Structure 1
Amino acid sequence: MSKVTALFLLLTFLFIGSSHAIEVIDEPALTTSLALHVTFSGKVSTPSEMKRIEINMSFPQSCETQRVTTDEKLAYDKLGNQILHIVKENPQNPFYYSASAYVETSSFNLYSLPENYALTDYERKFLEATPNIQSNSYEIQKLAEDITKACENDFEKIAKLAIWVNEHIEYDLSYGDKNYDALWVLNNRRGVCSEYTTLFAALARAIGVPVRYVGGYAYGRKGWEPHAYAEVFLGRWVPVDTLWLQVGYLDATHIKMSIGKDNQVEDNIEILGYNVKNVKWEKNEPVFDILKANYREREKDFELFASSSRLNPGDEFLVVWRYLPKQYGVAELRLEPCIGNAIEEIHEKERRVILEPGREAIAVWRLKINKNLKHGYLYTCPLTLNSNFFEFRILNITIDTARTFKKIGMKAEVLNTEVELGDEQVVSVDVSVPLGIRGKVGIIYGNQVKEVEVSKNEKLSFSFFPKLGENKVYIYTSTGDVVEIPFKVIENRDFSIKIEAPKFLKVNQDRKLKIFLTNNRETPLKINLTIIEDGEKTTKSLEVIKSEKIERDIRFSDTGDRIIKIILDGKGIKSTKLCRIRVYTKPEVDISLLQYDRDKKLAKFKILVSKDKALNISIKINGNLKTIEELEGEEVITFKGIEEVSPATLCYYDLGGERYCESIEVKSVKSMKSIIQRLLKIFHTFYELFIKRFVK
């Protein structure tokens, strides 16, 4: 360590005012800044003599939320990661190494996002599918579209994907030393932070959002532990921790060690010497000495209220959480009922709410009072709200079993149980109010809450413009009644899209993608048409008067499934279509003889299909015919009753339906059994000609 670095660290200790490290971080999610000393160490050994050793391994990164001071030698990889670079000539065996850094971290807080931005070549790298992050898989593409189809902006899409992964993947520590791919995680629904991040990255890339895989450490339930999370590009790089559901916000205990395209670790070691083998690299877990920690206060500026505060047994009511966010994020909320049997039913305790600056956020719980509570008592039921970032709060509900309150009656219905996107939904409520009673009737939809004072019988009407997909609206009274009405929003029937594309396309073959748009409205419709192909996004603004035809040349140089995504966005129009094309090449089919018994007229052949799948394969030998419906790889077939094994007539089809036929000479593949049989035959001949005659 240089004198300058040593002096810097000494001054840091003096500034902090204590040389004692902090042992425990009580609330990691609320950590706003950390100052810590990190030490990496390990041992390398081999039975061989080492002449030179070179180690490259992950190291804390200098970035927007992390400042690193070190005297160690660093190198940089092709993605810009700074790598710890250790080189030693004629090292001892075993070779022990140690490296350290002073790291200052701060939490990431997202207050704004650019409205428009373009991707550079660097960001486009993180749109690409990899063997572990199969964002080009149809299953991944379809799921990502289903999750995000009703979203209004990119942050909402990313948050929805993170919430889905968090809710559908089971945390299983037994997978801590594994690195499974996205499709495996989707099918098995379990893993640790790396599996959560891998699946999220595939889903986000599938909708055209660049994702970096971040490897590092974070402070969890058992202290410091290896951790993985993601960064998405939304005009700037934004962190997303799907395991701990920090989206747009990241606490300061996250130590970034590397970024990559997927979950493959890049650490490596190189040893020069004579006949070097059996190298053993033992890495110790890093030592984190926390010198200083700062925390944020829990958010207090929110509202928590009940639709009814004084209730009778059997009544229903809503608990509503309202908050006006100052920054992007996801709020995790959990409402716990009072201990005992006062609450008969609560519809799901947990809520995940997406937060966007200046846009009111709402969470709703529906509860029911136990109708069998003992008569003649006045109960107080404290409901408690727990959250990751919001203060603990108690909401007291009074339940009166001694007297029965007069109730406001209501009958509510929606105008349509199915409405088109862009159309207004109307909720009508017939209210009947007992004489001398005053109260409220309210409606909750999305992030809107409306209440009306009522004191007489009347008919109320509420209207709003709902989102695409499955929806529900709550209507309630202040005297203990709740109605929940589901309805569906579908794509506009006045506008249609038809896509014509080949299901199969040969490698390097040119074809046309055709898109037909039809507008059945009386007025022209302005829309944005976006086409995403292999991560490349092109957007075109159109005015569709009656009909419009768009043609696009398509050509692919590699085999496999290709997904072309077509997105329409306009007034009352929000539609995404996926076009799946299988790119293929001509398969190569080869036949080899495995075994032939001339006496039994029995022959076994190996059929090997490479490069791509072959369909309806037929092999004809001496008038005998065998067929295979489809094959990619190898299969063994048996012919009976044949005199000769060659030539053979081979016919098959490629995926596009083109037929190939040829006459081929069958090659012989000598098995061990056939070799032994031949040797025995030679020995028998030798015995008959020489040994038997000599014995006589």
Structure 2
Amino acid sequence: MNKLVLFFIILFFIPSVSAQNQIKSSENVEYLHADLIKTGSVFLQSTGFSVPSDLHLNILIPQTTNSQETDIISVEGPDEYNITKDKFGNQIMTLVWKRPPVNRDIPYRVVFDVKVYNKTETRAGNFSVTGLTRPSMEITKKAFEITEGLEGIYKIFKVTEWVNRWVEYDKGCMNFTKSAVWTYHTRKGTCDEFSNLLISMLRALGYNAWYVAGYAFSKDWGPHGWVEVEYNGRVVSLDPTWLESPVDATHIKFVNLPDSNQTETAGVLGNVKILWNKTEPEIKIVKETEKPKIKAYSIGIPTKIKSGSYGLLKIHAFSDNCVLSEARTESCKNSKGADFIELSEKNKTMGFCYQDDYYFFLKAPEIKKGFLYTCPVTVYVSGKKDIINFTVVSDHEKETKLYFNTQSVLTPGQRFIITTSLLNSGKRKENVSVYVFFNGIVQSKTIDLKTGETQIKWSLNAPEKTGKETLYIYSSLGDLASKDMTIIENKKLGISNITVIRGGNEIHVFVNVVKLSNVTGSVVFRVNGEEQREKISFGNQTQTFEFVFEPESSGTQQISIFLVSKEKYQDGWEGSIMFEK
């Protein structure tokens, strides 16, 4: 009797990606036209006397979507092929050999014409949470913590940035796929782990997010994974590994999935063993166009800095839409190869809609009197570079000082006053710009500083999130002062008790919530990735909520419960229940 044998293991790959490099900056590619060639071979190793039949290979192919067009140019090798869709809506190509030979290579070659545009996808995915992306209580708490006080697309950008900074790219993780929880704790992985963790955090915040697999260009072409999320009725693409949104047109989409677990399958009728030898696709660029996603210009405030004093570098960035990227800075070097000017940050995340300003503090070195140095500082944004020449001088002693005072412990949203004092011990007026930096807010004033002391008052709001924030005051005469501010708030909602009762095939979970102040909020109940919500109303200090679910099968049921008020995490509980039908 013939037996249908399915193999889900890819034995090995032979890299064969085109090395041609016409691309100057992959991040700026807004249109890509390329030939993509998939090749490989199958070897049927006979294990009996039956003649095999109906060999079929199910291979992943470039998709046709709103932002990508794919045409099949040629298919060589199989007797026939067909295009079907899997359960996630992905187009799959099946190569069929009706009477395949045994004990020799059976080659195939498929050529696709692919065009990728810098367009927004319109089709949202509809995927269940899996073991690779299920958010733990720690991940949920962290997602709410880092996005507290943020709204809209800025929440999505913030968790993408956090994953990019939290996880270290490790090539040692290339031969396996790990879960979001594993990645959160080990802080290492490749694009698969970056993406699984980002999907988990977005899911924790209530967003519909999924994994995208395909190929992309960095220094060369290679397999890559990224994320898409549904936001405001549209699809936003995110690359947490390369800190990019929207993803550039070198990202060729092959498949949408709930997580990074993907495979291609093979089957045959007959007692044979399938050995499948694959090569990575060869990608030949036909045409590509580049346009910076972000345009930027940089200025020094000022460009002349006194020995040992501070300066300020400002980048004004603007774009046609909402973007996520990174600005990188580089100082000239001294004779020992070290940075001549010290920069507060080498890299800064840029996540904004339409336009924003970004600032870097600079510290000039101490130099000998009578000397003057010009140091070019290079700014890289969206594949382009801008050079600002800073001049360090030591012509006379510094005659100004900056002081400020304010309270250092605040409550969320509290209005507070900062009093800055500028002391001019010289004999002439100085034109000075003063900047206040706090929680992403920048205020500035320009004055003529007379001899003696001048005070300037500022009014700001504390952030809505608790924790620590640093307040910086800078003057263009070379002063920089700072203070750590603490934002404190007592918990407003808490879980006092959890009761689990089984009733037939249903499980009833009772959650007792205690209100520590008169607020509203929500109880969020998650079981095996599915979510229920109940509102916490004004009134009683203690409320009990009942959640009912019917497990689909026997086994461990993963449950997590957490409380939120005004989108702030308040308290949480997680555990598991054994259920046998």
- TM-score over 0.5 for the alignment? yes
Secondary structure (helix, strand or coil) at the match of 1:265 reads coil
Structure 1 position 455, deviation (Å): 2.4
Take 1:576 and 1:183, find their aligned partners in 2: how far apart are those partners? 19
Assess, with a 3 A threshold, how the Cα gap between structure 1 residues 405 and 444 changes in structure 2: closer, same or farther.
same
Q: Partner of 1:430 in structure 2?
A: 421
Could you give the per-residue CA deviations for residues 639-662 of structure 1, whole angstroms, max 9, x where no partner exists? xxxxxxxxxxxxxxxxxxxxxxxx
**Does 2:565 correspond to 1:568?**
yes
Amino acid at match of 1:51: S
Could you give the per-residue CA deviations for residues 556-586 of structure 1, whole angstroms, max 9, x where no partner exists? 54634421232211xxxx5213421434348
Take 1:281 and 1:394, find their aligned partners in 2: how far apart are those partners? 52
Q: Partner of 1:139 in structure 2?
A: 138
Assess, with a 3 A threshold, how the Cα gap between structure 1 residues 413 and 295 changes in structure 2: closer, same or farther.
same
Q: Partner of 1:225 in structure 2?
A: 222
Q: Partner of 1:177 in structure 2?
A: 175
Assess, with a 3 A threshold, how the Cα gap between structure 1 residues 109 and 459 changes in structure 2: closer, same or farther.
farther
Q: Aligned to 1:417, which of 398, 402, 408?
A: 408
Structure 1 position 448, deviation (Å): 2.2
**Does 2:25 correspond to 1:27?**
yes
Structure 1 position 443, deviation (Å): 1.6
Amino acid at match of 2:132: N
Q: Quick check: 1:506–1:585 contact (8 Å CA) kept in 2?
A: no
Q: Aligned to 1:328, which of 318, 322, 332?
A: 322
Q: Partner of 1:439 in structure 2?
A: 431
Q: Partner of 1:499 in structure 2?
A: 495
Assess, with a 3 A threshold, how the Cα gap between structure 1 residues 560 and 532 changes in structure 2: closer, same or farther.
closer
Q: Aligned to 1:97, which of 99, 108, 117?
A: 108
Q: Aligned to 1:382, which of 370, 376, 382?
A: 376
Q: Partner of 2:239 in structure 1?
A: 241
Q: Aligned to 1:401, which of 394, 402, 413?
A: 394
Amino acid at match of 2:247: L
Amino acid at match of 2:429: I
Structure 1 position 200, deviation (Å): 1.6
**Which structure shows the higher helix fraction?**
1
Assess, with a 3 A threshold, how the Cα gap between structure 1 residues 174 and 91 changes in structure 2: closer, same or farther.
same
Take 1:70 and 1:76, find their aligned partners in 2: how far apart are those partners? 16
Q: Partner of 2:284 in structure 1?
A: 289
Take 2:522 and 2:137, find their aligned partners in 1: how far apart are those partners? 21
Q: Partner of 1:84 in structure 2?
A: 93
Amino acid at match of 1:175: C
Take 2:308 and 2:62, find their aligned partners in 1: how far apart are those partners? 58
Q: Quick check: 1:563–1:578 contact (8 Å CA) kept in 2?
A: no
Q: Aligned to 2:262, which of 260, 265, 268?
A: 265
Secondary structure (helix, strand or coil) at the match of 1:328 reads strand
Q: Quick check: 1:343–1:368 contact (8 Å CA) kept in 2?
A: no
Q: Aligned to 2:445, which of 425, 430, 451?
A: 451
Secondary structure (helix, strand or coil) at the match of 2:154 reads helix
Structure 1 position 177, deviation (Å): 2.8
Structure with higher RCO (Cα < 8 A, 6+ apart):
2
Assess, with a 3 A threshold, how the Cα gap between structure 1 residues 585 and 190 changes in structure 2: closer, same or farther.
closer
Could you give the per-residue CA deviations for residues 202-248 of structure 1, whole angstroms, max 9, x where no partner exists? 22222222221111111121x2211111111113221111111112x
Assess, with a 3 A threshold, how the Cα gap between structure 1 residues 129 and 505 changes in structure 2: closer, same or farther.
farther
Q: Aligned to 1:370, which of 354, 359, 365?
A: 365
Secondary structure (helix, strand or coil) at the match of 2:203 reads helix
Q: Aligned to 2:117, which of 99, 106, 118?
A: 106
Q: Greater Rg, structure 1 or structure 2?
A: 1
- After superposition, the CA RMSD in angstroms is 2.9
Q: Partner of 2:130 in structure 1?
A: 130
Number of aligned pairs? 531
Secondary structure (helix, strand or coil) at the match of 1:502 reads strand
Task: Work out the percentage of aligned pairs sharing the same amino acid.
Answer: 24
Q: Partner of 1:670 in structure 2?
A: none
Assess, with a 3 A threshold, how the Cα gap between structure 1 residues 506 and 305 changes in structure 2: closer, same or farther.
farther
Assess, with a 3 A threshold, how the Cα gap between structure 1 residues 528 and 183 changes in structure 2: closer, same or farther.
closer
Amino acid at match of 1:152: E
Amino acid at match of 2:167: I
Assess, with a 3 A threshold, how the Cα gap between structure 1 residues 304 and 532 changes in structure 2: closer, same or farther.
farther
Assess, with a 3 A threshold, how the Cα gap between structure 1 residues 464 and 241 changes in structure 2: closer, same or farther.
same
**Mind listing any 5+ residue stretches in structure 2 that lack a counterpart?**
1-17, 74-80
TM-score after normalising by structure 2:
0.84
Structure 1 position 36, deviation (Å): 1.5
Assess, with a 3 A threshold, how the Cα gap between structure 1 residues 506 and 448 changes in structure 2: closer, same or farther.
farther
Take 2:472 and 2:318, find their aligned partners in 1: how far apart are those partners? 21
**Does 2:84 correspond to 1:75?**
yes
